[in-house]
C-alpha cells in the first residue's frame, strides 16, 4: 500500500452542471460509509471537510447563449481546490476528491500535477473536451479535459503552474459514448487517447485499460483517475444528472479499477457527478465508494 493516509476533500459544486443536486454528492458519498470502509482497508483517513463553494442563487442567472457559465466562481473554487490538493500531495497523502460536478477536476488534477508529471485516466460517458468555441450548453463541466490539455480560457488552463497541466498524449478517456459534433472533431485531431464503449465492447475492458495504462504511465510519476458516475450504465448508477444508456457494467467498472490499482501508479482520485436528488436509496453513492475501494487496492481474494 504505497499511501498510508488518504485525504478526503469535498467539493459541493454544481455551478458547472445543467441540473442542480450534485452539490449534495460529497455528503451522500460520505454517508455511504467511505471513511469507515477505507479504514477497514488499512488506511489512515483525514477528512478535510468541504471546499467553500458559492450557491447559484447568489449570482444573476446566466444569459441565454452564455459560453462560459459561472466562469469566475468556478475558477475560484478550482484554484482553491488545486492549492488544497497540492498541500495534501506535499504531505505525502493521496487526495480523494468528492464532487460535485466534473468542472472541479480542473482544480483537483492541476493541484495533483504541480511539480510533477502526471498521466490522466478519465472515465466518463462524455468527452469533456469542449471549449468556449465548441460548447453547445456553456456548462463548464463539459470542458475540464480540454482545459487540462491546455485548451480554453486562461483562468482554467493555468492552475497547475504549467500549461498544459497534462500532456494530451498522456490522457486516456474511457467509456465515452456521447460527444458534441465539434467536440468529436477536436478529439479526433488531438493526441488524447479516446476509448469509446464500442472499443470496450469489441476488445474488452482489460485490453482497453492495459493500453490506457501504457499511455498515461510513459514518462510520468503516476496518474490521476477522474471517475464520473455517468460512465456507468444508468441501471447501475441512476443518481447522475446526465445519464447515457449503454454504459459500463458493474464488473467492467470494478475490473478497470482493480487493474489500475495493480499498477501502483494511482496518485489522486475524483468521484464526481453523484446527484442524490435523482438517486435510488443512495445506491449511486454506494457504488462510488465501492469503486474507490477497488481503485485503492481492495480485492476479491
Query: Which residues participate in catalysis according to the annotation?
Result: 102, 124, 126, 128, 141, 228, 230, 273
**101: helix, coil or strand?**
coil
Three-state SS letters, 185-237: HHHHHCCCEEEEHHHHHHHCHHHHHHHHHHHHHCCCCCEEEEEEHHHECCCCC
Q: 228, 153, 218: which is closest to 191 by C-alpha?
A: 218
Length of the chain: 301
Distance CA 131, CA 54 (A): 23
**DSSP conformation class of 81:** H
Q: 44, 40, 12, 39: which is closest to 28 by C-alpha?
A: 12
Distance CA 109, CA 143 (A): 13
**Does residue 121 contact residue 174 with C-beta atoms inside 8 Å?**
yes
Distance CA 134, CA 75 (A): 19
- β-strand pairing of 44-50 with 5-11: parallel
Distance CA 26, CA 298 (A): 21
Q: Kindly provide the residue ranges of all beta strands, DSSP E only, lying in the chain, ordered along the sequence.
A: 5-11, 44-50, 94-99, 119-123, 171-176, 193-196, 223-228, 266-272
Amino acid at each position: 500500500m504505497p499511501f498510508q493516509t488518504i485525504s478526503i476533500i469535498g467539493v459541493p459544486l454544481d455551478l458547472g452542471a445543467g441540473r442542480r443536486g450534485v452539490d449534495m454528492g460529497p455528503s451522500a458519498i460520505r454517508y455511504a460509509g467511505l471513511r469507515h470502509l477505507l479504514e477497514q482497508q488499512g488506511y489512515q483517513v483525514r477528512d478535510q471537510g468541504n471546499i467553500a463553494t458559492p450557491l447559484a442563487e447568489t449570482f444573476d442567472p446566466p444569459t441565454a447563449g452564455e459560453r462560459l457559465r459561472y466562469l469566475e466562481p468556478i475558477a475560484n473554487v478550482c484554484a482553491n481546490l488545486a492549492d488544497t490538493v497540492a498541500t495534501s500531495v506535499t504531505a505525502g497523502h493521496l487526495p480523494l476528491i468528492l464532487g460535485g460536478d466534473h468542472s472541479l477536476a480542473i482544480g483537483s488534477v492541476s493541484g495533483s500535477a504541480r511539480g510533477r508529471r502526471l498521466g490522466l485516466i478519465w472515465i466518463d460517458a462524455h468527452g469533456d473536451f469542449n471549449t468556449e468555441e465548441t460548447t453547445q450548453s456553456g456548462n463548464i463541466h463539459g470542458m475540464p479535459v480540454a482545459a487540462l490539455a491546455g485548451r480554453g480560457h486562461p483562468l482554467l488552463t493555468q492552475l497547475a503552474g504549467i500549461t498544459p497541466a497534462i500532456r494530451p498524449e498522456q490522457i486516456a478517456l474511457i467509456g465515452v459514448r456521447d460527444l458534441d459534433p465539434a467536440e468529436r472533431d477536436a478529439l479526433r485531431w488531438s493526441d488524447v487517447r479516446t476509448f469509446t464503449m464500442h472499443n470496450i465492447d469489441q476488445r474488452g475492458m482489460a485490453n482497453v485499460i492495459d493500453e490506457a495504462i501504457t499511455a498515461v504511465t510513459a514518462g510520468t510519476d503516476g496518474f490521476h483517475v477522474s471517475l464520473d458516475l455517468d460512465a456507468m450504465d444508468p441501471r447501475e448508477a441512476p443518481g447522475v444528472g446526465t445519464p447515457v444508456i449503454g454504459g459500463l457494467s458493474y464488473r467492467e467498472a470494478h475490473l478497470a479499477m482493480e487493474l489500475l490499482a495493480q499498477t501502483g501508479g494511482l496518485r489522486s482520485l475524483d468521484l464526481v457527478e453523484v446527484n442524490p436528488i435523482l438517486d435510488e436509496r443512495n445506491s449511486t453513492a454506494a457504488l462510488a465508494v465501492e469503486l474507490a475501494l477497488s481503485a485503492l487496492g481492495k480485492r476479491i481474494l
